[in-house]
Amino acid sequence: MTAQLNPRGDVAVLVPAAGAGVRLGPGAPKALRLLAGEPLLVHAVRRIAAAPSVHTIVVAAPATEVEAVRAMLAPVAPVTVVPGGAERQESVAAALAAVPTGPEIVLVHDAARALTPPHLVESVAAAVRDGHDAVIPVLPVVDTIKEVDATERVLGTVDRSALRAVQTPQGFRRSVLIAAHRSAGDALTDDAGLVEKQGIPVTCVPGSELALKITRPFDLALAEHLLTTGA
């Protein structure tokens, strides 16, 4: 059944989905790869559309797959699909340009985090609504982290208690994200990184184990398992 988005909602969600998925191994672009018989992007969009504050969803698809992605998502939820770019940041910028007037909260959410629960979309949006310009979901780092040199010699042990692993959706006041993208100079950073460079404070909220990024074959197998146990 096609989900209805909330016409009174104040949140637009940008979904960069134009990556190749090189680390997942040979095959279709990652967002189109199947997880329990459905493309990752379908899982992701279905969960975003289930978040009650969401007014608009804009997907940045692989440039050659725009029509296929439109057809694929039509039964899932009303979405706008635009061609993505060669770098994730270009894909986000293309999606951002397609957000209609209205939503003042913009979330950026990787299609690869296909099992992200709707409540995480809501909690990030709520923190922006509460007055935070930029909000990221994070988890504590569980492994011991070492800094090494080019020869793999250990230089030191990093204090783990001060580290966080960052997920998406990352949430922003719309004008803040637009300004950060306008001045984007570093293709390697995430959206919150662009905002940090503007000197704007970024706030953390608790992330979710289910928001794992499907990157390697192991992650896909884990996601399949999580789905069979009710994710």
Q: Give me the residues that bind Mg ion (CB under 5 A), please.
A: 19
Pairing of strands 38-39, 34-35: antiparallel
Q: Tokens standing for 65?
A: 């797959």
Query: Exactly one of 5, 33, 58, 84 binds ligand CTP (CB under 6 A); which one?
Result: 84
Cα gap 135→170, rounded to integer Å: 6
Neighbours of 76 (CB within 10 A): 21
Instruction: Using CB under 6 A, pick the residue from 68, 138, 213, 227 that binds ligand CTP.
Output: 213
Which residues are within 8 A (CB) of 86 and not within 5 positions of it... i.e. 6 or more apart?
none
Our CB check for Mg ion shows the closer of 189 and 203 to be 189
Tell me which stretch binds ligand CTP (CB under 6 A): 72-80, 87-95, 145-153, 202-210: 87-95
Q: How far is the CB of 87 from ligand CTP (least distance, A)?
A: 5
Pairwise CA distance, residues 128 & 147, whole Å: 34
Please tell me the count of residues contacting ligand CTP according to CB under 6 A: 22
| Torsions phi, psi for 65 (to 5 deg) | -115, 10
Contacts with ligand CTP in 112-131 (CB under 6 A)?
A: 112
- In the complex, least distance from residue 157 CB atom to ligand CTP, rounded to whole angstroms: 28
164, containing H or E segment: strand 164-166
Q: Which of 3, 5, 13, 17 binds ligand CTP (CB under 6 A)?
A: 17
Measured distance CA(18)–CA(122) in Å, rounded = 24
User: Among ligand CTP, Mg ion, none, what does residue 189 contact (CB within 5–8 Å per kind)?
Assistant: none
> Among the candidate windows 63-71, 83-91, 128-136, 179-187, which touches ligand CTP by CB under 6 A?
83-91
User: Looking only at residues 18 through 57 of this chain, which bind ligand CTP when binding is defined by CB under 6 A?
Assistant: 18-23, 30-31
Distances (CA, A) of 213 to 84, 87, 116, 120, 221: 19, 17, 9, 14, 12
* Residue that the structure tokens 């997907």 belong to: 59
Q: Which of residues 43, 55, 88, 173 is near ligand CTP by CB under 6 A?
A: 88
Which range touches ligand CTP (CB under 6 A), out of 50-58, 105-113, 137-145, 192-200? 105-113
Provide, for the chain, the percentages of residues in helix, strand and coil under a 3-state DSSP scheme, each rounded to the nearest 5.
35, 20, 40
Residues at the interface with ligand CTP (CB under 6 A): 16-23, 30-31, 60, 84-88, 91, 110-112, 213, 215
